Structure 1
Amino acid sequence: MPHDVQELKFLATPEKGDVSALLIRPEGATHLLVLGHGASTNMRHATLQSIADRLAEVGVATLRYNFPYSEHGKGRDGQAVCTETIRSAVAAARKASPDLPLLAGGHSFGGRMTSTAASESPIEGVHGLVFFSFPLHLAGKPETKRADHLADVAAPMLFLSGTRDELADLDLLRPVCERLGRRATLHLLDTADHGYKILKKSRASDEDVFVEMARVAQAWAAGLR
């Protein structure tokens, strides 16, 4: 089902200027998730579109946005620019829908930069973080250094990770989440890879993977205090 989309602009950083954003707010929305894109994509990428559409169907509004480098077609911004952009995006979301509880996160790089921002200091107004395919390591190079900062994140975290994700070896991701204790919830998506492509013949569930993620995210958000 298509949803109405409101196009916005907000100031990412004083040096980088304005970036674009897309707000989907379904009728009866319960939360608003500020959603960052992957490293080599942008807010209009099909994966992010599918995530936003399925979330809308379960009453979760989204504000997708571009990082300055994807807005202007230049080389990737440094970490400081990305984390400042995330805080600016959250502020824009709060202004657009001041009545909705806020969540923040993103797909892959967008999620990791959101957790990085939250590890530096809490993101104002954000009640929880949602990671769609948290990129724990580079493909073929399993390690956990990228997770070190998660120990400094105070907010509850939901990890939505495919069992075939080549950037999140489950033998490493499970212990990372276990060490985070009650702050972390790990939900595994059967046969899904980093971009949520599935193996239809061997997948145990008939549920669409994006529908599954939206259902789990909505239930998790509803349980936050």
Structure 2
Amino acid sequence: MTDAGEARITWIPAKGARLVLAVSHGAGGGIEARDLQALAAALPGHGVTVALVEQPWRVAGKKLAPAPRTLDTGWRGLWPALAAPGLPVVAGGRSAGARVACRTGAELGARAVLALSFPLHPPGRPEKSRAEELLGTGLPTLVVQGGRDPFGRPEEFPPGQHGLVEVPHADHGFAVPKKAPLTEDQAMELLTGAVAAWLEGLA
């Protein structure tokens, strides 16, 4: 239970885990997103327990995400449960969930921040930049971005302390066209491999 309502955490434990990666969904979907599921399948084999976080609005069955402040409230409220195993916690998420992790990671004591499909700006509105959220994490940060993400292509990101991994040809949901030179499975292997290597470097 959080001040924003009841949230849900689905744990995918790793044997001999050395850290927890907590990842939440975006404003238009849930933890069934292909990138979150790929990480949940791959990372326990690398000693990383994955916690898939569903924000209260999703648990309540609502179709539209609330304001960013409410999303942050929900994330703060469930953080003690994420930290309960006593392991370092990497705060992460996709899209709106990535913004939440960036805004709150340092105050909550996260080890690092993983931003999947960070929405640098609304589609077609590059002047509405959210770069400050990303640049202000104060923590080791990795961005994984699709090469044709309308919310911000990799080349649009400003320089900073964050790492940036491109998934070529992928859109905001990391889907790739059938005619692309890599398959969706290969795109997910690239994503999970990059995240696993980065997490290994944090240990």
Quickly name the TM-score band, shorter chain normalised.
Answer: 0.7 to 0.9
Number of residue pairs aligned between Structure 1 and Structure 2: 202
Given candidates 162, 177, 184, the residue that maps to 2:162 is 184
For the 8 Å contact 1:34–1:90, the answer to whether it is kept is: no
* TM-score relative to the length of structure 1: 0.80
Cα distance in structure 2, aligned partners of 1:133 and 1:50: 14
Contact 2:175 2:184 in 1 (8 A): no
Query: Does the 8 Å contact 1:34/1:89 carry over to 2?
Result: no
Aligned to 2:121, which of 134, 137, 147?
137
User: SS state of the match for residue 85, structure 1?
Assistant: helix
Contact between 1:58 and 1:215, CA under 8 Å: does it hold in 2? Answer: no
1:84 corresponds, among 47, 61, 73, to 73
Q: Give the alignment of 1:1-225 within 5 angstroms.
A: 11-13=1-3, 16-74=4-62, 75-95=64-84, 97-98=85-86, 100-118=87-105, 122-143=106-127, 145-173=129-157, 176=158, 178=159, 180=160, 183-199=161-177, 201-203=179-181, 208-224=186-202
Structure 2: 5+ residue stretches without partners: none
C-alpha change, 1:206 and 1:72, in structure 2 (3 Å) is closer
CA RMSD of aligned residues (A): 2.3
Q: Tell me if structure 2 keeps the 8 A contact 1:190–1:203.
A: no
* Shift, 1:83, TM fit: 0.9
**Percentage identity across paired residues of the two chains:** 27
SS at match of 2:155: helix
8 A Cα contact 1:136 1:143, kept in partner: no
| 36-45 or 200-209: bigger deviation | 200-209
1-structure distance, mates of 2:135, 2:31 = 28
Deviates more, 1:23-32 or 1:138-147: 138-147
CA distance in 1, matches of 2:140, 2:15: 26
After TM superposition, the score normalised by the length of structure 2 is 0.87
Aligned residues of 1:160 and 1:213 also touching (Cα < 8 A): yes
Structure 1: runs of 5 or more not aligned: 1-10
SS at match of 1:105: strand
**Structure 1 residue identity aligned to 2:25:** H
Per-residue displacement from partner, 1:129-157 (whole Å, max 9, x unpaired)?
00111111122222352112333321111
